[in-house]
Amino acid sequence: MRLLLVRHGESEWNAVGRLQGQADPPLSALGRHQAAHMAARLVDEPIDAIVASDLIRASDTARALADAVGMPVLSRTDLREVDLGSWTGVSRDEIEAADPEAWRRWRVEGVEGWDGGELYAEAMERVGAAVRSIAAEWEGRTVVAVTHGGCIRLATCHLLGMPAAELGRIMSIGNSSITEFLVEPDGGGRIVRLNDMAHLLAPTAVDDLEVPV
């Protein structure tokens, strides 16, 4: 199966550096613009299904593509972002000021610093099960899954057979970026592209249709 993992466009909390986890802020104006560019990039792909996290920033990003290709968005709670517990809604600056070491370990090593919420190992079990389920349902076809940065990094660990503790070795995933895998029948995967944001760097027809933000 060909699996295209798309991160949602910029949300209103992304714009101000506030951590989201499973909170549900909407896309910003820039995020809607990014989603339109992503849709323009993928509109001619041979897509068989579009699935998305049920959080609004992901579902609205997915809808931009779904409207362009005339397909429904299939909502999945198992593609939600990692639950960040006590860090949900807190700004990056606030966390770094309160506990610089916890902030460094999270950013550099991928070590959870929050209370409550999910451990990365727990979240990877959820995301891995979602990937296996999608691969089984659409074997041999192409699926676009619109989800979240943490989920895409965990899916990458899962597909490459890496433990969740290796999350910190994977680059940050940009808003509206595309990460592509070929998923093998045994559940493993091969990377085709990682964090592809070329559609956000070059002018497209979308720029003729929308007011720049």
Q: Each residue of 187-207: pLDDT tens digit? A: 889 999 999 999 998 655 444
Instruction: Look at residue 211 and tell me whether its pLDDT is greater than 90.
Output: no
Q: What is the band of 185 on the pLDDT scale with cuts at 50, 70, 90? A: confident
CB neighbour list of residue 40: distance below 8 Å, 6 or more residues apart: 68, 199, 204, 205, 206
Residue 202: its pLDDT value, please? Answer: 63
Residue 208: its pLDDT value, please? Answer: 40
β-pairing, 49-53 vs 142-147, is parallel
Q: Each residue of 28-65: pLDDT tens digit? A: 999 999 999 999 999 999 999 999 999 999 999 999 99
Residue 182: its pLDDT value, please? Answer: 98
Could you say which of 8, 148, 158, 199 is catalytic? 8
Q: Where are the beta strands (DSSP E) in 148-184?
A: 178-183
| Best CATH choice for the domain 2-209 from the list 3.40.640.10, 3.40.50.1240, 2.160.20.10, 3.40.50.720 | 3.40.50.1240
β-pairing, 189-196 vs 178-183, is antiparallel
Average pLDDT over residues 1-24: 97
Q: Each residue of 131-177: pLDDT tens digit? A: 999 999 999 999 999 999 999 999 999 999 999 989 888 888 999 99
Instruction: Look at residue 70 and tell me whether its pLDDT is greater than 70.
Output: yes
Percent of the residues in the chain that have a pLDDT greater than 90, as a whole number: 86
Percent of residues in the chain assigned helix, strand, coil, to nearest 5: 45, 20, 35
Q: Does 81 qualify as catalytic in the annotation?
A: yes
Q: What is the band of 109 on the pLDDT scale with cuts at 50, 70, 90? A: confident
**pTM of the predicted model, to two decimals?**
0.93
Q: What is the band of 92 on the pLDDT scale with cuts at 50, 70, 90? A: very high
Could you say which of 10, 33, 81, 199 is catalytic? 81
Per DSSP, 10 falls in state P
Residue 209: its pLDDT value, please? Answer: 40
Residue 103: its pLDDT value, please? Answer: 92
